[in-house]
A = this chain, B = another copy of it.
Amino acid sequence: MIASSPSNHPLGAVTDFSRAGRPLDLACARLKSAGLRITQPRVAIIEALIRREHPVSIEQLHHDLANDACDLVTVYRCLAVFEELGLVRRCFFHNGTGLYEINLNDSHHHHIVCKSCGKVERIDASFTENTERILRERGYEQVTHLVEFFGVCPACQKKTAEFSPLPAASITR
């Protein structure tokens, strides 16, 4: 079901960063406490992610940065670090390429992706079987969905010794 929210976003709540206690500071604090450095590229990337709010491709993110704030390679490297840190979440949509999304409060939510233009909107709340119907009521057509569950299977829990999880990439969390 689509979350109700104070925002008037057509699909429900959109994180209201303005009153969330300085998202950038939050992110920097997380970097610091992890022993990482606050560099100009990192700040620029985090700001761009916050501005975007929704999942973005690395390339798009690079374009977003003010006149070559940093190299594309740096964007790759920073996002890898951020993801490791949980500061960013990687989403895989139907094209197979990962999009990155800022993740400051570990909120668990989902997305509706336009099959035509690729526009991404956020859906809060846990999913239900009614979501598709609601989306159709909202005017979406050809509505489908993708659902995958992840977990560590019983067999793997036994062999704790050689346990080295797949790069699980906090997708949905």
Contact = CB atoms under 8 A, between A and B. Distances in A.
Contacts of A111: 148-149
A152 B112 CA distance: 9
Number of copies: 2
A166 to B, nearest CB: 6
Contact of A144 (B113, B136, B155, B172): B172
A165 interface: yes
A17 to B, nearest CB: 23
Given A147-B127, A150-B146, A172-B146, A156 B114 contact: yes
A63 to B, nearest CB: 19
A135 B151 contact: yes
Please tell me the size bucket of the interface on A.
35 or more
Interface in A64-116: 90-98, 110-116
A114 B146 contact: no
Interface stretch (A23-31, A32-40, A118-126): A118-126
B154 A113 contact: no
A74 to B, nearest CB: 20
B94 A171 contact: yes
Contact of A117 (B132, B156, B168): B156
A148 B115 contact: no
16 contacts: A90-B96, A94-B168, A94-B171, A96-B169, A112-B151, A116-B156, A132-B149, A139-B153, A140-B152, A140-B154, A141-B152, A142-B150, A144-B149, A144-B150, A145-B148, A145-B172
